[in-house]
Amino acid sequence: MTHRRLDVVHERFFPAYVVWELTLACDQACLHCGSRAGSARANELQSDEAIRVARELAELGAREVVLIGGEAYLHPGFFQVVRALSESGVVTQITTGGRGVTPELARDLARAGLAAASVSLDGLEATHDTLRASPGSQRAALSALHSLRAAGIRIGANTNLNRRNRDELEALFELVCEHGVESWQIQLTAPLGRAADRTQLVLQPYDLLDLVPRIARVKERARARGVHVMPGNNLGYFGPEEARLRSWHPGGKDHFAGCQAGRFVLGIESHGEVKGCPSLQSPEYIVGSLRDTGLAELWRSEPRLAFRRDSRAIALTGFCASCPFGATCLGGCTFTAHALLGAPGDNPYCHYRARDFAKRGLRERLVPTEPARGEPFDSGRFRLLVEPLDAPEPELSRAARVQVTRPAVRRA
Amino acid sequence: MQDLTQCPDCQGFVPAGFERCPNCDRGFSSGPLRRVAAAALSVVTGGAVAMTLMACYGGAPQAMGPMPEKPSTCREGAEAPPPGSPGADPNAKPCSEGPTNSIATGESEAPKPPPPGS
């Protein structure tokens, strides 16, 4: 089993699973990057500060810390942080695009105690390189997988599914298998950060009618090849495939049990700002800085971090308010719902919901109405249009055609 | 948290008290059908729900067993048949997840308690 397996109903909340953006510096400029990574923030935690945070995480009982970026290995204190975490008994992983992962770096990571690495694969070669805005990017990612594995580090892959790569799911599965990946996380590209500037890239809710059953079938095939396929938190919910999607073992009966932000999940940004989940919109969900307040105090006493600890704290609205699974699902992934409709509690990215509309011959379409501001982890706004299920795909609206790309704010 | 059962037809979840499956519309409401359906339904939650934590900027969890000695092959059909099916090993252990009622099954990990004072 895994360090991530928890009874999520009990109320002894602690940051079991932490995703820590060590730096916003990145060696790629992905078209769908939620944090708009590229340049380091001007005021990122220095190595000594980061090591202190690593100790605080261990003291709070963190089981696993995933270091991300940008590219975490671009932080000057990267190896020290990996070592501090692993020596404290925290399972330490990285998520990486892999471009700078050489055999030497992989061996150094293994010596520092890194347990596992997840390499982003966003499609077959042409698609991957397009989404990563970097020719040769996929070759580098596959090379990173081999270097990490050769160094004795467990390897996984992660994929953001969107309208650019959804048709490559099964072919990508073959690629994942060929490269010895042990676990594969699949999630939906939410319109967050740079993906919010490219609204034609993101899926429509009715795309889930086809996509979710395909993912469930891939998961079953993957088991036969020793690959664990696990859905990210924004993929679901409660269609007939729910148990197959979410269970680790065949025949398991797991299901989505609500957003765990601030309950057992914690996100840290590279300048020490804290939120309940790494993907939450920074302007709305940052609760404080580790430069000003200790992590234990923030965790215990900051009500905005605890907003998911009371299941009644967020009112379900729209379809979710009358959904038969609402009391368990609680509106699905918070940041995704917020990225679509500006608030949690009504989430159109839902398989049950799409099926319910389809049974009535209808579907929901997301129509962009407001662009994102152009900052890390920001989102724009959509409105929902209900239309016949067999309506033709409309021409991209003017708002969708416009690439609202703004240069990332360079602070360093 | 709702009590959920699992529909024997579509395998979708059914909230307790529902007379029809929200996904496939199978009915559980009358006479012999209800008794058969009730026998087929099993409560899969009941006060405790185990979950594998995920976050979209992290990776998928890794199994904690020994690392495979060589890369996975692409050979299909290597999976053991499901319990109860022809060819299944009668001595095979049930899956470690099983019902998500982790108290009843004792199969999920107990949460590691935070240290004193946290």
Contact yes or no for B54 and A231 at CB 8 A? yes
Torsion of CA A174, A175, A176, A179, to 10 degrees: 120
Contact yes or no for A228 and B54 at CB 8 A? no
pLDDT score of A412: 37
A312 touches chain B (CB under 8 A): no
| A161 has a pLDDT exceeding 90 | yes
- Span A375-398, pLDDT tens digits: 999 999 999 999 999 999 876 544
**Omega before residue B58 within 30° of 0, cis:** no
A388: exposed, middle or buried (C-beta count within 10 Å: 0-12, 13-18, 19+)?
exposed
Spans of chain B, pLDDT less than 50: 32-33, 39, 46-47, 71-118
Average pLDDT, chain A: 93
Lowest mean pLDDT among A135-139, A179-183, A245-249, B37-41: B37-41
Residue A188 CA: distances (Å) to CA of A120, A164, A191, B33? 13, 12, 9, 39
CA gap A147, A77 in Å, rounded: 21
pLDDT score of B41: 52
Q: Which of residues 57-86 of B touch A (CB under 8 A)?
A: 57-64, 67-68, 70-79, 82-83
CA distance B78 to chain A (A): 5
Q: Which of residues 111-150 of A touch B (CB under 8 A)?
A: 115-118, 149
This model of the complex carries an ipTM of: 0.89
A6 touches chain B (CB under 8 A): yes
Contact yes or no for A6 and B12 at CB 8 A? no
Section A139-151 average pLDDT: 98
- Span A111-127, pLDDT tens digits: 999 999 999 999 999 99
Section A182-203 average pLDDT: 96
Instruction: Show residues of chain B in contact with A180, CB under 8 Å.
Output: 68, 70-72
Comparing CA positions, the residue from A195, A202, A269, A252 lying closest to residue A29 is A195
Residue whose structure tokens are 């990490």: A148
pLDDT score of A406: 42
A232 touches chain B (CB under 8 A): yes
CA distance A324 to chain B (A): 7
- Span B105-114, pLDDT tens digits: 223 333 344 4
- Span A10-58, pLDDT tens digits: 778 999 999 999 999 999 999 999 999 999 999 999 999 999 999 999 9
CA gap B24, A132 in Å, rounded: 40
B53 vs A118, A239, A264: nearest CB: A264
pLDDT confidence band for A364 (50 / 70 / 90): very high
Section A247-255 average pLDDT: 91
Both tokens of A339, joined, read 């990225």
Higher-confidence residue of B94 and A331: namely A331
A6 vs B56, B67, B109: nearest CB: B109
Nearest CA in chain B to A312: B1
CA distance A226 to chain B (A): 6
- Span A258-302, pLDDT tens digits: 999 999 999 999 999 999 999 999 999 999 999 999 999 999 988
pLDDT score of A1: 59
Q: How many residues does chain A have?
A: 412
| A67 has a pLDDT exceeding 60 | yes
**Omega before residue A352 within 30° of 0, cis:** no
CA distance B36 to chain A (A): 20
| A307 has a pLDDT exceeding 60 | yes
B104 touches chain A (CB under 8 A): no
Q: Which of residues 3-62 of B touch A (CB under 8 A)?
A: 4, 6-7, 10-13, 15, 18, 22-24, 44-45, 47-62
pLDDT score of B48: 56
CA gap A127, B41 in Å, rounded: 44
A92 touches chain B (CB under 8 A): no
pLDDT score of B88: 40
pLDDT score of B63: 75
B50 vs A7, A66, A158: nearest CB: A7
- Give every CB contact of residue A206 below 8 A, 6+ residues apart in sequence: A354, A357, A358, A363, A364, A365, A389
Torsion of CA A291, A292, A294, A295, to 10 degrees: -70
CA gap B21, B10 in Å, rounded: 9
CA distance A115 to chain B (A): 9
The angle formed by the CA atoms of residues A18, B104 and B13, to the nearest 5 degrees, is: 75
CA distance B4 to chain A (A): 9
